[in-house]
Amino acid sequence: MKLCVISLQGETSKNIAKEARAFFDIVTELHLKNIEIALDDKQGFSVKDSVGELDDFDCVYIRGSHKYILLQRALTRALYKKVYMPLKPNAFTLGHNKLLGTLELQQKGINIPTSYFISDAQQAKNLLGKVHYPIIIKIPEGTHGKGVLFADSESSARSMIDALDVFHQPYIIQDYIETGDIKSEDLRVIVAGGKVVGAMKRVSSSTDVRANIHLSGKGVPVTLTPDIEKMSVKAARALGADIAAVDILVGRKPSVIEINLSPGLKGLMKYTNKNVAKSVAKALYDGTVAFKQDKKLPTPKKEKNGFDEHYIEAHIDKGLLTLPRFVTKGSSFSNGDDLIIRLKDGELRVTKHNIRREDD
């Protein structure tokens, strides 16, 4: 099988491509800036580089900054149903825009800080007298903690709004969630292939409210609770990402503050001593195998009881039965769902447990 990694060719992208060579027969690395998209009335939408048409690959993994949102989305839109891609087309729009991403998380029932979306500076100032301080002020676009400001009073918030007005962008005002005793802390969780493959606690330098490693924050290995693992996977899925970093603040309750579609892994691998790049590469391979299996499936036979009937070959590894991706899709099961399993010789039936638990 063939993998193509399209990126700005940073260290993490190269590391993932290197690890992927243990799984894929061919791994090609292309620079995002060299991709060509052609539109034609007869041939339709085609994407190519010096290596040729990109739909000749089995998997295409696209990484890049918010400056290339439209190109990344267009590439994914053109190739999404032809090859396995771990990011859906709309993931780039949602993941690179804090306003749209936060709204999508809220709509999917994922905990977020109380947030206000304000269209201009005057509206923002009108709100400042009604909120509880301290607060966080953000502009919709920005990564690595840039465009995130901390205001501990109305007067300081007004000064920040005046400074941000030069960008002529909407504002996001959020409740500040206190985490560490002195320094701010958050969780960086890497999700790949529907499960958590790496996590660390990030602690800010001095009293900076931003714990990003790019801003001199420090990482600490951490063991996540099952609820936070479930939240992380659900948050990545909400934005249409099989591979992503989920940033979580743990105050009175955990809240997702951001999803990163092209996370750097260098810091996390350093502080956890875990080869997360290899886990991401393995997730790419597993996703490709499942995608190709789905494409080969014949049209399912519809039974009278409403079930779709498929014929597959059983795959049992170390006593574990592995089922194709279409089983998860068709059943609408999500990671962390409560399931009821009924067994008898030659038959297995799995149904979702719909009784809500008290802590949900």
Q: What is the CATH number of the domain that holds 69?
A: 3.40.50.20
| Separation between Cα atoms, residue 69 and residue 135, nearest integer Å | 28
Contact 134, 150 (CB under 8 A): yes
Q: What is the pLDDT of residue 183?
A: 54
Q: Which domain holds residue 203?
A: 185-278
Whether the ω angle into residue 324 lies within 30 degrees of 0, i.e. cis, is no
Confirm whether 289 is domain-assigned.
no
CATH number at residue 230: 3.30.470.20
| Separation between Cα atoms, residue 316 and residue 337, nearest integer Å | 23
Assess whether 214 and 269 both reside in one domain: yes
Confirm whether 18 is domain-assigned.
yes
pTM for the structure as a whole: 0.73
pLDDT over threshold 60, residue 61: yes
3-class secondary structure for 279-305?
HHHHHHHHHHHHHHHHHHCCCCEECCC
Assess whether 6 and 31 both reside in one domain: yes
- State the pLDDT confidence band at 359, using cuts at 50, 70 and 90: very low
CATH number at residue 118: 3.30.1490.20
Contact 235, 246 (CB under 8 A): yes
Residue 317 burial (CB < 10 Å; 0-12/13-18/19+)? Answer: exposed
DSSP 311: -
Assess whether 195 and 171 both reside in one domain: no
Confirm whether 86 is domain-assigned.
yes
| Separation between Cα atoms, residue 224 and residue 123, nearest integer Å | 39
pLDDT for 3-26, tens place per residue? 999 999 999 999 999 999 999 999
Confirm whether 104 is domain-assigned.
no
Assess whether 17 and 86 both reside in one domain: yes
Q: How many domains does the chain have?
A: 4
Confirm whether 284 is domain-assigned.
no
In the numeric block, the tokens 């990482």 are attached to 219
Q: What is the pLDDT of residue 253?
A: 85
| Separation between Cα atoms, residue 44 and residue 24, nearest integer Å | 29
Confirm whether 180 is domain-assigned.
no
Assess whether 90 and 10 both reside in one domain: yes
Examine the fold and report which residue of 247, 278, 309 is the final residue of a domain before the chain moves on.
278
Assess whether 63 and 133 both reside in one domain: no
Q: What phi and psi, each to the nearest 5 degrees, are found at residue 24? A: -100, 150
Assess whether 87 and 122 both reside in one domain: no
DSSP 167: G
pLDDT for 165-219, tens place per residue? 877 777 788 888 776 554 578 899 999 999 999 999 988 765 555 444 444 568 8
22's CB contacts (< 8 A; 6+ apart) are 278, 281
Confirm whether 292 is domain-assigned.
no
Examine the fold and report which residue of 175, 202, 220 is the final residue of a domain before the chain moves on.
175
| Separation between Cα atoms, residue 21 and residue 29, nearest integer Å | 11
Alpha carbon distance, N-terminus to C-terminus of the chain: 42
Mean pLDDT for 231-254 is: 93
Contact 222, 303 (CB under 8 A): no
Assess whether 123 and 62 both reside in one domain: no
> CA of 340: how far to CAs of 191, 212, 330, 353, in Å?
26, 41, 17, 6
Q: What is the pLDDT of residue 237?
A: 94
Contact 102, 115 (CB under 8 A): yes
Contact 64, 32 (CB under 8 A): yes
Tell me the longest C-alpha to C-alpha distance in the chain: 71
pLDDT over threshold 90, residue 224: yes
Q: What is the pLDDT of residue 240?
A: 94
pLDDT over threshold 80, residue 44: no
Mean pLDDT for 132-149 is: 72
Q: What is the pLDDT of residue 265?
A: 95
| Separation between Cα atoms, residue 207 and residue 182, nearest integer Å | 7
Helix (H, G, I), strand (E, B) or coil at 332: coil
How large a percentage of the chain has pLDDT more than 70? 82
Examine the fold and report which residue of 243, 278, 313 is the final residue of a domain before the chain moves on.
278
Mean pLDDT for 249-277 is: 92
| Separation between Cα atoms, residue 37 and residue 47, nearest integer Å | 5
Assess whether 162 and 191 both reside in one domain: no
Confirm whether 238 is domain-assigned.
yes
Assess whether 87 and 139 both reside in one domain: no
What's the full length of the chain, in residues? 360
| Separation between Cα atoms, residue 295 and residue 329, nearest integer Å | 14
Q: What is the pLDDT of residue 191?
A: 97
pLDDT over threshold 90, residue 256: yes
| Residue 119 region by backbone torsions, left for phi larger than 0, else alpha for psi between -120 and 50, else beta | alpha
| Dihedral sign (CA 51, 53, 57, 62) | positive
Assess whether 271 and 235 both reside in one domain: yes
| Separation between Cα atoms, residue 87 and residue 329, nearest integer Å | 16
Assess whether 342 and 305 both reside in one domain: yes
